[in-house]
Structure 1
Amino acid sequence: MKKYKYIGYLAAILPNLLLTTAAIAQNPEQIRRLLITNECAGCQLDYAELSHAELSQANLEGANLKSANLMRANLEGANLAGANLEEANLERANLEGANLEGANLTDANLCFATMSSGLGACITDVFPPQIK
């Protein structure tokens, strides 16, 4: 009887674990490639966990980083031209000298991010999350 109880628990928990893992590591091969080579133009990195990542001078042109966690990431001099950073967490990220031309920063969290002037990106519609 205990065996069936454990199977029931497993059946209830397993789908949630699989969905959570998929959301955390959307594309592990591309994440690994980025962290090793600093090259991932056009990659699908949505929901990627990249907090504290060393990505200075990285080429992420046209990459999909929707809802990615880039908190405290070093993106100094990175090429993020045309990247989708919608809903990305860039809190306290270093974006000095980063190319954000044409990047989508809709609903991105840029609280305390370090940025230089002349980014070439329109960031007038980027606000911290509203407290409800």
Structure 2
Amino acid sequence: MKPFLTVVALAALTCASTSAMAQNADQIARVRSGSSCAGCNLFQASLSGLEARGLNLTGARLRQADLSLAVMNRTRFSNADLRDVEAYGGVFSSANFSGANLTNASFVGAYLDGAAFSGATLNGANFSGASLERATGLSQSRLNAACGDEATKLPAGLTLPRC
């Protein structure tokens, strides 16, 4: 009987932790309407084409979210989880990605001029065709973990490995 109770307890714990990690539809709707949502759970949110400037999404969980063609200038993504985000063609000028986790994020063709990346994790991030010319906080060592192509625009003196 004791092994059975252990299995049941583990199953209940797994279900509880899974639901805690699921997206929050109310919070996603809030951001879609143009409201800030610091610390929100926007996991797998579909925010493609969103036009909302100056939002505060500090510490938000945007993992696997779709930010394709979004216009989110001056938005604060500091310390946010942006792993596996799809941000193709997005406009994020002067956005703050300081301390954010951008592991495996795709910013193909994105406009990131003036964006801040101090302390951001860029492992596997794809910046092919992106404009980062006036971005700040980028270091060669962190860019070595990301990739781009011949169309990627970087601040002077920095390079990216090819994707």
1:108, 1:127 within 8 Å by CA — same for their partners in 2? no
Q: How does 1:40-55 map to 2 (within 5 A)?
A: 40-55=37-52
Distance 1:118 1:98, change over 3 A: closer
Does 2:104 match 1:107? yes
In structure 1, the gaps of 5 or more residues are 1-24
Distance 2:88 2:94 in 1: 17
- Structure 2 vs 1, CA of residues 116 and 42 (structure 1 numbering), >3 Å: closer, same or farther? same
Structure in which a larger fraction of residues adopt helix: 1
Distance in structure 1 (CA, Å) of the matches to 2:87 and 2:35: 18
Query: 1:21-67: CA deviations, max 9, x gaps?
Result: xxxx9321001111234211000001000000112111100000000
Specify the SS of the correspondent of 1:38.
coil
Q: CA distance change for structure 1 residues 111 and 37 in 2, over 3 Å: closer, same or farther?
A: closer
Structure 1 segments (4+ residues) deviating >3 Å: 120-123
| 1:41-120 paired onto structure 2 within 5 Å | 41-117=38-114, 119-120=116-117
1:105 shift after superposition = 0.5
Q: Secondary structure at the match of 1:94?
A: coil
Judge which range, 31-40 or 115-124, deviates more. Answer: 115-124
Partner of 2:146: 126
Quick one: percent identity of the two aligned structures? 32
Partner of residue 29, structure 2: 32
Give deviations 1:71-123, integer Å, cap 9, x for gaps.
Answer: 01111000110111000001111010001100110000010010114613344
